[in-house]
Amino acid sequence: MEKQKTVGSILEFPEKVFIRNIAGQHVCVKIYGPESLENQLAVLTHYLHHEGTEAGTVYQENGITEVKHLIRYFYPDLENLDQVAEYAHQYGLFQDVFDIPYPGPEEPKFTFIDLFAGMGGFRLAMQKHGGRCVYSSEWNKYAQKTYFANFGEIPFGDITKEETKRYIPDDFDILCAGFPCQPFSIAGVSKKNSLGRATGFLDKTQGTLFFDVAEIIRRKRPKAFFLENVKNLLSHDKGNTFRIIEGTLKELDYSIHFQVLDGQGYVPQHRERIIIVGFDNRYFHEKENFSFPDKPESLLCIAGILEPEVEKKYTLSDKLWTYLKQYAEKHKAKGNGFGFGLVDKNGIARTLSARYYKDGAEILVPQEEGKNPRRLTPRECARLMGYEDKYILNAVSEVQAYKQCGNSVVVPLITAVAGKLVESLLNYHADE
């Protein structure tokens, strides 16, 4: 039988799943269940994490069916198959799903769902305040691997599909979504304009994803939602894009709070993002008593996230360093500000982008005399976004880890806002 010990191996072969028996062996078997391949592992892992809970009822029927297919392969002569399938974890199966750095709280204070989950920055923030994630969705297969390695749960895929949406439980408290920002970001708009492509809500592949979020809010009516996007969302299309977003949310009868917040102060990085928080007027009656957190005094610097020693591969080659210097000089002569960013170790960094893996140009670390600057390591990038060192990055390649960090939220900032949101939620009394 095939064996695999790598963290996140459940995703290495989409048509297979690894289960661990009581002796600790990893056994590879194929799934032949009723679900589409995209959803099979999501249903399985969501079911295992929510056995016996109210949210788990939405996963129970198909989850047990998937478990039965696996156990029938592993124990073909088992007589009490139904019982083992229903209480798989108690029988020592699927330990990989539970041996994770970030398990959910045993006694949650509230529930939430995690849309466009990425690396799970929202999930970390919400779990920090006692929240239990009852549904996650992320279409990128590499982000799914990272998410599974840290949370033991494979997110559902394409949130625009009804087969994916149908698993969202009822009666969760908060909807979290860092919905894709490419249609609204300055870099994304510039790139698409140069290609003659539409941006914002005219972008049929990404711009309309906000409306999928709005439709889920309309159907499920969570008590609150927590959205994040790039700062440029406010000014895109002369403000029309944001007016549509704000108007749509207000039409759903939610009160809206929004503010542009900078990651600086939480991490040593200048990273401005718009945060949108909403509360159901039918529940709070506009008495939610919410305010954004005060900006902390910035005492952080790049030196605090740097590893003492890094491999030579992170140092720029002579060819690349020469190119970056010539490129910067060319644009400087034209009066443009484009160029590399050589950081002051006692200062903060520019905004980390998803393209950082290409050359690291926006954040370069100076080295001793005679050595070219170097790029940040993936671990340093994760620290720059506020992830702890126990967070698992190596479930994917370094290129994918760089991309995921560049697309992530600043975890401590999101955690601070989440604290204010959760405080409003838990302290509200309907009879006041």
* CA distance linking residue 178 with residue 353, whole number of Å: 15
User: Among 352, 374, 152, which residue's Cα sits nearest to residue 263?
Assistant: 352
Helix (H, G, I), strand (E, B) or coil at 199: coil
Instruction: Tell me the C-alpha to C-alpha distance, in Å, between residue 352 and each of 65, 74, 232, 266, 288.
Output: 43, 46, 16, 14, 34
* CA distance linking residue 7 with residue 12, whole number of Å: 10
Region of residue 52 (phi > 0: left; psi between -120 and 50: alpha; otherwise: beta): left
Helix (H, G, I), strand (E, B) or coil at 7: coil
First to last CA, the chain: 62
b/e code 36-71 from CB counts within 10 Å (16+ = b): eebbbbbbbbbbbbbbeeebbebbbebbbbbbbbbb
For 368-377, the CB contacts below 8 A with 24+ separation are 371/315, 372/315, 372/316, 372/317, 372/318, 372/321, 373/315, 373/316, 373/321, 373/342, 374/310, 374/314, 374/315, 374/316, 375/314, 375/316, 376/314, 377/307, 377/310, 377/311, 377/314
Q: Which residues are catalytic?
A: 181
The token duo for 192 is 């698409």
DSSP labels for 44-95? HHHHHHTTTSTTTHHHHHHHHHHHHHHHHHH-TT-S-HHHHHHTTGGGT--H
With both helix axes pointing from N to C terminus, report the angle between 398-407 and 141-151 in degrees, rounded to the nearest 10.
90
Q: Are 131 and 105 in contact (CB under 8 A)?
A: yes
The token duo for 167 is 């698993």
